Structure 1
Amino acid sequence: MPDRLDGLTGSCVQIPCSFYIPDQNKYTFNSTIHTSGVWIKENPYFGGRPDSVIFNSSKTVNIYQGKITGNMSQKNCTTVFFNVATSYTNRYFFRIESQPFRATDNEKSVDINVRRKTQFNCSPTIFPSSYSFHQNLPSSPILTVSGEMKEGTPVSFNCSAVAPCPEHPPELTWTLPTQFTTENQLQENPDQTKSVLSTVTFTPSYLHHEKNITCTAVYPVGTSNKTAEHNMMLNVSFSPKDTSASISPADPVLVGSCVNLTCSSTANPPVTNFTWFQISGDKPIQVASGLSYSLNVTVGDGGLYYCEARNSHGCGKSNDVQLAIKGKTGT
């Protein structure tokens, strides 16, 4: 069985459980004979402490309301405790009682931690993916991303929330800045506990960069719902966008004047190279590189200019700007 399980008051907790009989005792255990399962809290040695035996499947009345859902004849002792309370927080041991075989595994136990029904209402902005929760609140779902978040390339997000009560698993919902499709399923973890997995797929654009994505787990508890959520800020890679060029001064200038041309662009990762071009006839000619281009104007400098911004994902071209020279025909 798992080392630890978390639950919420008023809900149920399912304990995945199986057992085997050591070779030296296998001939004293008869699977065809009715076998009872007994749960003991805190300490496996219950002699003189009858209240530590909180559940016995052979009895109709127990301290804990529960049921062994596994088939004991097949050595499956999976158990569900219903309507759990914070007082259930403790360590538990399992005992087999059959004729003539009786045994308790003193070295294996499960710690059950039951949280109070407190509303979870925290919305941290987190990147990269991480999560946390207060001990009195439902566990935050785990949010992960598969693949690189790149503009135009479909990406999948996985949200997983523990389902301590598989009969009433949490419902997972998404909040995204775009249209999306989802796929939900109840899955079994390596320790045989259950969790709900929701996968959402969408194609990000540069407009989604630094927007939030939220996965919310809604836990049904009695007649009410308790929620836990996990936020992630999107980090979308994209080629340069909104590339523009400006010229100062913008008015016609005299030959010999100083003029500054500046390029701006939005990109992730940031722009690594700015290149300036002057349009001569029908062909652009590269004249400089860098975010800014300064020149002392000569007669041949008049005309149209533009810049290109480049990063590892591509290139963006700016608008054309006019460098006008006073007294020059056609400007």
Structure 2
Amino acid sequence: MMDCTAIAPEMSVFSLMFFLLLPVQVHMQTNPIFHAELPHSITALSGSCVQIPCTFDAPAIKLQYTEIIFGCWIKNHHAFLNPDSLVVLNGSTNIIKGFSHIEILGNLSQYECTSVFYDVMNNHTDDYYFRVEMNPVDWKYTYVKNPIYISVSDVPELPILTPTDLQEVKEETTVNLSCSAEAPCPKQPPTISWSNISESAHIKAQLQEKPDKTQSVFSYVTFKASYKDHKKNITCTATYPRNTPDASTVKSTVILRVLFSPKETHITIDPSDSVSAGTNVTLTCKSKASPNEMNYTWYKRGQKKELDFGEQLTFNVNRRSGGWYFCSAKNIHGMQISEGILLIVAESSSLIIGCVGGILAFLFILLLVTIFLRVQRVKASINRETDISDQGQEKHMHINSIFDNSAFATSEELEMPKDENEIHYGQIDFSNPQTKSVTVKASEQETIYAEVSGSGKD
């Protein structure tokens, strides 16, 4: 049977310990832990700024009755008065240490504490703690459980290009790519450019907030895949402005693989010079395709059946080998037939050359005959013109002779140039119907004209 008195002291000790610990529990309940929402870490670019997204919680009753609220940032150690800590921003005194400028963008009365550190340098890499001070309620709190680690680098992070490994896309299908670049300083965001994309590509860029409240620039590109894009290195380049002489650029690349039917199918011939009968000739069918496993078929104009199969066609040339040759290339996505290539056998070409030479000789002879006939016609024309000229000269001389030996009577006797012989003209009178004789006296000869009579009546 148990002794109750024996346990009484034990009960007293337990009760004493309970009451001793009770004030500690009450004290812990009166000092709750508050939290700030910050990214665990952020990478900043030297010579630029860094924006720290920040929100916090605090006693609502304290915030309700406060008149002034200040924000502070502490580096390295959370203790406000610890010698190892450095208060880089003291909002109550507006003192900034170690930075050219620090700005709190958030509305502290709305539990927002987003801040921007300007002109960050490599020696700024460290842990940072946020602290709130309220007056006149005199409430101060450092969020020791939620530091942010700021890492400062001279080289920005590489942009993220997705999909990182493009699956094979079929020709004429739509390709969608996105490229994102961290924007630790949204006031100076990076710019994104693309290379080796189609000229018809559509590009859209925007600044977006990520789940941890940091920001990135996203660029989206859309275009239709062409066979010319196959195996292209599509590059996304992010350029960061800095307060330094040179901007920083970083790139990411992805290889585009396009599936397409044969393209640019054509034939090459070896030897490429004229081919004579009795020699071997090789025709090769070339084409671009993806996948490049292709079946080749050879044809000749005028023949219904295929000549052969395979990438190359080799044969010994004879007189009947001349003509037009074609090939087709086929893969799982389609087929294409090449343009024809003309094979001319040397003997046939000699015959053509002989015919052409004969025609040229005939034309040359015809030209000589034409020139000869034209010369003859010109000579005959010249002779005719000469005869006409001579006849005209004779007529002219004859007319001159007539005029030289003729004269006309108008009223009185007309004088003519004197010569050795003198000619006398008589006067004829028609008023009298009587007949008169007219005698013209010459030097040694006498000329008698016939009598002229006029009756004066009809």
* TM-score under structure 2 length normalisation: 0.55
Structure 2 residue 73 is the aligned partner of structure 1 residue 36: no
Alignment match, 1:137: 155
Shift of 1:14: 0.5
Q: Secondary structure at the match of 2:123?
A: helix
CA drift of 1:78 comes to 0.9
Q: Any unmatched runs of 5+ in structure 1?
A: 116-135
Percent of pairs with identical residues? 37
- 1:83 equivalent to 2:101? Answer no
**1:264 match:** 286
Partners of 1:300 and 1:241 lie apart in 2 by 31
Does residue 108 of structure 1 match 2:146?
Answer: yes
Q: Deviations over 1:210-232 (max 9, x none)?
A: 45544433323237451213153
**Distance across 2 between alignment mates of 1:76 and 1:46:** 21
State the 1:290 CA deviation. 3.3
Measure how far apart 1:276 and its partner are.
Answer: 0.8
Residue 40 of structure 1: CA displacement? 2.0
- C-alpha contact (below 8 Å) 1:214/1:229 kept by paired residues: no
Counterpart mapping for 1:227-306 below 5 A: 227-230=248-251, 232=253, 234-237=255-258, 238-246=260-268, 251=275, 260-267=282-289, 269-279=290-300, 281=302, 283=304, 285-286=305-306, 288-293=308-313, 304-306=324-326
1:253/1:324 contact within 8 Å kept: no
Q: Is the 8 A contact 1:141 1:230 kept in 2?
A: yes
Give the C-alpha shift of residue 289 in structure 1: 3.8
| Higher fraction of helix | 2
Alignment check: 8 A CA contact 1:177 1:213 kept: yes
Quick check: 1:148–1:155 contact (8 Å CA) kept in 2? no
- Secondary structure of the residue aligned to 1:35 is strand
Tell me the amino acid that sits aligned with residue 142 of structure 2. Answer: T
Deviations 1:151-203 (A, max 9, x none): 44443432322211111212333444653443221111121111122233444
1:69 to 2:130 alignment:
no
Are the structure 2 counterparts of residues 198 and 77 from structure 1 closer, same or farther at C-alpha, using a change threshold of 3 Å? same
Write the letter of the residue equivalent to 1:81: F
> SS at the partner of 2:74?
strand
Which structure would you say has the larger Rg? 2
Structure number with the higher strand fraction is: 1
Greater shift after overlay, 46-55 or 162-171?
46-55
The change in CA–CA distance for 1:140 and 1:275 in structure 2 (over 3 A counts) is same
Q: Does 1:169 align with 2:203?
A: no
Distance 1:89 1:104 in 2: 20
Q: Distance in 2 between matches of 1:53 and 1:2?
A: 20
2:264, 2:287 within 8 Å by CA — same for their partners in 1? Answer: yes
Distance 1:195 1:177, change over 3 A: closer
Contact 1:31 1:74 in 2 (8 A): no
Greater shift in the superposed pair: 315-324 or 34-43: 315-324
Corresponding residue for 1:191? Answer: 212
Is 1:55 matched up with 2:76? no
Match of 2:175 among 155, 170, 176: 155
Distance 1:273 1:77 in 2: 65
Instruction: Considering Cα pairs closer than 8 Å and 6+ residues apart, tell me whether 1 or 2 has the greater RCO.
Output: 1
Distance 1:304 1:223, change over 3 A: closer
SS in 2 for 1:315: strand
State the distance in 2 between where 1:310 and 1:107 align.
67
